[in-house]
Amino acid sequence: MIEGALWRRWVFYNIPLILFVFVLLFPFYWMIVTTFRPDGELYLPWNAPNYMPFWTNNPTLEHVLYLFEETSFSRWMFNTMLIALVSTVISLFCGVLAGYALARLNFPYAGGLGTAIFITYLVPQTLLFIPLAEIIRNFQLGDTPWSLILTYPTFLIPFCTWLMMGYFKAIPKELEECARIDGASRWKAMVYIIIPVAVPGILSSGIIAFTLSWNEFIYALVFLSSPDQKTVPVGVTSELIRGDVFFWGPLMAGALLGSIPVAIVYSFFVEHYVSGLTGSVKG
């Protein structure tokens, strides 16, 4: 791929790549710097003399402490974690079974159901949030974690099913037939032979489902109301802005700490995440 002199490699590859990385990561750097910058430095006008925006010599933990002492931030973290984990498990359970049925069993309307799953995969949350809020209220689920645990699977299941279908289709039919000849029932062949082979796919779907539920916002915003029930994105939005006043220090601290669980999970499973992401767009 690389042709010609060193300077060409720099001009055509390295410098653009460095620029991309810089722009893509700068907001996170900004989050970190703001988190540890004292208020006195934070609220210097941008054109003040000796304003040093990219670094601070007086790092402080006051914003982080504010977050834990004055707000329910640890509650929000716990809520978000609980909701993300439970809805991911539910979605994986449903998605793996449905993906198996659609990819490996012959039954009437299999093709039509596959298409239906694909269509629901494309239904955005913002299309249904108002009637769904009514339904959640009628089911007496409003302002409880269940309102989200039960509704997040609506966008996670189609995704998991779609991804798992791809993984199941790639497993040769013979594997199952061998087990069946040895006397295993269909159910046992599925549980003990095929699903273990598909574990990488299950991991990929699970990690992406987890990050998607951590990211979800509009359902959490509409269905939850009391401060103690909120998830991190909603809590940060509603409790750290009072009227027109933005508490930028705690806001950035909350954004930073709220991102860490996702970042950790992601960093452990980058390869699975990437393979899931690229698998999800295979038609």
Partner 1 sequence: MAVTAVSGSAARPIPRLRRLEDERWLAMALLAPTAILLGLFIAYPFFEGVLLSLSSARVGDPGHFVGLKNFHKIWDDSIFRTTVWNTFWYTGVTTVFKLALGLWLAILLNRHFRGKAIIRAFILLPFIIPTVLSTFAWKWMFDPTFSVINWTLFQLGFITQRINWLGDPDLAMTSIIVINIWRGVPFFAITLLAGLQTISPELHEAAAIDGARPWARFWHVTWPLLMPVTLVVVLFSVIQTFADFQLVYVMTGGGPANATHLFATYAYQLGIGTGLLSEGAAISLAMFPFLFIIVVVQLLYIRRVETR
The answer to whether residues 200 and 96 touch, using CB atoms and an 8 Å cutoff, is: no
Contact set for partner 1, span 178-197 (CB under 8 A): 180, 185-187
CA–CA distances in Å: residue 174 to residues 8, 50, 193, 198, 239: 52, 72, 11, 15, 57
Identify residue 89 by its one-letter amino acid code.
V
Whole-number Å distance between alpha carbons of 242 and 234:
14
Smallest distance, partner 1 to C-beta of residue 247, A: 11
The contacts of residue 169 (CB under 8 Å, 6+ apart) are: 103, 104
Which residue bears the tokens 């720099």? 10
- Residues 80-119, one symbol each (x = binds partner 1 by CB under 8 A, - = not), give ----------x--xxx-xx-xxx--xxxx-x--x---x-x
Q: Does 170 bind partner 1 (CB under 8 A)?
A: no
- How many Cβ atoms from other residues are within 10 Å of residue 157's Cβ? 24
Contact set for partner 1, span 194-253 (CB under 8 A): 211, 214-215, 217-218, 221-222, 232-233, 236-237, 246, 248, 251-252
> Which residue, 198 or 236, is less far from partner 1 as judged by CB?
236
Q: Does 263 bind partner 1 (CB under 8 A)?
A: yes
> Which residue, 145 or 258, is less far from partner 1 as judged by CB?
258
Q: Does 135 bind partner 1 (CB under 8 A)?
A: yes
> Which residue, 60 or 259, is less far from partner 1 as judged by CB?
259
Smallest distance, partner 1 to C-beta of residue 69, A: 21
Which of 252, 225, 257, 256 shows the shortest CA–CA distance to 241? 252
Smallest distance, partner 1 to C-beta of residue 41, A: 10
Q: Does 281 bind partner 1 (CB under 8 A)?
A: yes
Stretch of 66-74, 162-170, 195-203, 268-276 lying at the interface with partner 1 (CB under 8 A)? 268-276
Kindly tell me which residue out of 10, 13, 192, 199 binds partner 1, with binding defined by CB under 8 A: 13
The answer to whether residues 223 and 136 touch, using CB atoms and an 8 Å cutoff, is: yes
> Which residue, 61 or 281, is less far from partner 1 as judged by CB?
281
Alpha-carbon torsion (59, 60, 61, 64), positive or negative? negative
Burial class (CB in 10 A: 0-12, 13-18, 19+), 150: middle
Kindly tell me which residue out of 67, 83, 86, 153 binds partner 1, with binding defined by CB under 8 A: 153
Q: Does 25 bind partner 1 (CB under 8 A)?
A: yes
Q: Count of H helices and E strands in the chain?
A: 17, 2
Q: Does 149 bind partner 1 (CB under 8 A)?
A: no
Tell me the number of residues near partner 1 by CB under 8 A: 101
Kindly tell me which residue out of 67, 77, 157, 194 binds partner 1, with binding defined by CB under 8 A: 157
First to last CA, the chain: 29
Kindly tell me which residue out of 39, 43, 178, 192 binds partner 1, with binding defined by CB under 8 A: 43
> Which residue, 127 or 172, is less far from partner 1 as judged by CB?
127
Which of 161, 166, 141, 157 shows the shortest CA–CA distance to 224? 141
